[in-house]
Amino acid sequence: MHAMESAALRYFREVAATGSVTRAGANLFVAPSAVSRQIRLLEDDLGVPLFTRGARGMTLTAAGHHVLEFATHTRQRAADLRAELDADRHGVRGHVVIATVEGPLSRYIPDALAALAPTHPDVRIDVRVAGSHDVGAAVAEGSAHLGFVFGPPTRSDIVTLRDQPLPLSLMVRPGHPLAGRPACSLRDLGDHPVALPGQHFGIRQEVDRACAETGTHLRINYEANSLALLRDIAVRTGTAIFMTAEDTAPELARGTLVRVPLTDRRLTATRLTLVKGLTPYSSPATRIVGDALLAAMNGSR
């Protein structure tokens, strides 16, 4: 793949990743002077400095960040082209990374993997779980090919493939003062303690926006970056949580949590969104996995 990427861009990417010409040279098995020369040639060609040199190492300038985005997409495009040529010779194979919030783990992703397994055994799929913010960043930067985010994308460098309703509900333990209600609002929570995911999670962002719109102040007793832990907290302590029915399907089935529909419009209008990067080209493996995820979403209607 090196033949399809200039030495200047390859060395530039390594310096950006390590923050050091010396470490970049060691990783690339070339002399640091060769790395420095390629960086200078690239800066001279573009007419702008790409790095700030300081005691803490090499840090990207604003122009450097743009070049890194270009270099990352160029490398991914080359990998996709290689996969396309391999598919012509040997059938579809390749490596696809799906970054996702936790919700699709219970249904859409397993359904897609089950559909692909018999027909595309040579497609390797990595599933990486993160909050919506980090999922969007991974897809935009090219470290993930596809992603599921909660709510609409908050950045312009990713593309929506499909979205569908996935409303939030209040989930509480049986016996909670709000458990028997047909519905409730944020204001009804009053002084009842709640547990929320971290601020990089789409659920948290939607709850925070709804609180700001309604002038509601929640009593937050727990915060965690794991929905599984939040569900366990709700079951064990009686603390209220905000989640979708899919996120809490096992607990709802066992009766350890009950669902109370919310009346706040923002929280009932939330959606799950399948996204990809801005590049118009995707490898055959990425297209096949994307189609399987879309089919799984369509089958849930």
Q: Are 171 and 101 in contact (CB under 8 A)?
A: no
Tokens of 290: 């994307």
Q: Do domains 2-70 and 169-268 have the same CATH topology?
A: no
Residue 181's pLDDT band (cuts 50, 70, 90):
very high
Amino acid at 252: L
- Say how far apart CA 72 and CA 157 lie, in whole Å: 13
Q: Are 206 and 197 in contact (CB under 8 A)?
A: no
Residue-range domain boundaries for the chain: 2-70, 92-165+271-299, 169-268
Radius of gyration (C-alpha) of the chain in whole angstroms: 23
User: How high is the pLDDT of residue 7?
Assistant: 85
Q: Mean pLDDT lowest for which of 6-20, 62-76, 78-92?
A: 78-92
Mean pLDDT comparison of 14-18, 28-32, 229-233, highest-scoring range: 229-233
User: How high is the pLDDT of residue 91?
Assistant: 55
Structural fold of domain 2-70: Arc Repressor Mutant, subunit A (1.10.10)
* Burial profile 63-78: b = 16 or more Cβ within 10 angstroms, e = fewer: ebeebbeebbbbbbbe
User: Which residue, among 295, 95, 159, 54, has the nearest Cα to 147 in the 3D structure?
Assistant: 159
Q: Cβ neighbours of residue 40 under 8 Å, at least 6 residues apart? A: none
* pLDDT tens-digit readout, 121-132: 889 999 999 989
pTM for this prediction:
0.67
Domain 92-165+271-299 falls under CATH 3.40.190.10: yes
Structural fold of domain 169-268: D-Maltodextrin-Binding Protein; domain 2 (3.40.190)
